[in-house]
Each structure stands twice: as C-alpha cells, then as structure tokens.
C-alpha cells in the first residue's frame, strides 16, 4: 500500500506547541547561498569570486619539543 497523499491531507507545518510556523526565503545567517552569484564556484583555475586569505592566527601547541615545521594549531579550538 502506498501512502502518498495530497499535501492538504497532512498537518500544516507547526511547532511542538502547535503554533504555526512561517517559511523564510533565506533561513540562517549570511548571504543566500542558493543563488549562484553568492556561491564561491570554481572550475579549475577559474573562479567567480576571490578566495579568502590564508589564516595566520591560531593557538600555540604544547609539547612540540624540537619541532621545526609548525607550533600553531588552527581550527575551532577553545
């Protein structure tokens, strides 16, 4: 048995308390990334926007000893 019904047969979108919800054109923060003009697209060496610069900040790691390459950690660390 297939349970594909018309959309009107199902409950309208709602919160857990039963209040109705609205749909936003661009949910979330920042630019609308569904538009190709806003997305950073590239094909080979051709890009439609500038790439972000190299991140030069971070946190100094402990226990590196005689490390010669890098002492800084990058990323979402507290």
pLDDT tens for 13-61 read 888 898 998 887 777 777 777 777 888 888 888 888 887 787 777 787 7
pLDDT at 42: 85
User: Is a pLDDT exceeding 70 seen at residue 64?
Assistant: yes
Residues 6+ apart with CB under 8 A from 72: 57, 58, 59, 60, 61
Give the single-character DSSP code of 7. Answer: G
Mean pLDDT throughout 4-13? 84
């Amino acid at each position: 048995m297939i349970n594909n019904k018309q959309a009107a047969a199902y409950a309208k979108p709602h919160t857990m308390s039963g209040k109705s919800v609205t749909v936003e054109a661009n949910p979330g923060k920042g630019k609308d990334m569904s538009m190709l003009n806003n997305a950073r697209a590239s094909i080979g060496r051709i890009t439609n926007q500038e790439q972000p610069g190299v991140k030069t900040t971070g946190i100094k790691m402990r226990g590196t000893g005689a490390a010669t390459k890098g002492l800084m950690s990058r990323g979402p660390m507290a």
